[in-house]
Amino acid sequence: MEDREQYLRYQRDRTVLLAIGARLGSQVCRISVRLPRSLAESAVAAWNRDELGGFGEESREEYELRDDAAELALIGLTIGERGMRDGEDVVVDLDVVQVAAALRAAR
């Protein structure tokens, strides 16, 4: 019984986290970032790549890997649409969710 109670607390915690996220979402939308041109080009290439075929049953690790690749592709789309070259870098305003995805992957 004790174990189940902790998950009820975690559920309440998630509700509070969701409420915080809802408040922050209206305050922080995009963040201007500077990336080396080679990384920006790799992200754009991920967006432009055609993935042929579907995918079958996958492990959690495979799902997470595919999810990270999808996040990179979405960053590539944003760079392709709004990125501005600045010397050897590319400057782009990324959605805060995209920045968070990249930071999570870096952990």
pLDDT value of position 95:
93
- Per the DSSP assignment, residues forming a β-bridge with 32 are 93
Interatomic CA distance for residues 100 and 65, integer angstroms: 16
| Positive or negative torsion for Cα 98, 102, 81, 66 | negative
Contacts of 95 (CB under 8 A, 6+ apart): 29, 30, 78
pLDDT in tens, 89-107: 999 999 999 999 999 999 9
Task: Round to whole Å and give the CA distance between 96 and 23.
Answer: 13
pLDDT computed for residue 52 by the predictor? 78
pLDDT > 90? residue 54: no
Contact 98, 71 (CB under 8 A): yes
% of the chain exceeding 70 in pLDDT: 98
Q: Is the pLDDT of residue 2 over 80?
A: no
Produce one character per residue of 78-98: b if its CB has 16 or more CB atoms within 10 Å, e if not: bbbeebeeeeebbbbebeeeb
Q: Tell me the pLDDT tens digit for each residue of 59-73.
A: 999 999 999 999 999
pLDDT, residue 28, reads: 82
Please report which confidence band the pLDDT of residue 24 belongs to, taking 50, 70 and 90 as the band edges: confident
Judge whether 44 and 80 are in contact, CB under 8 Å: yes
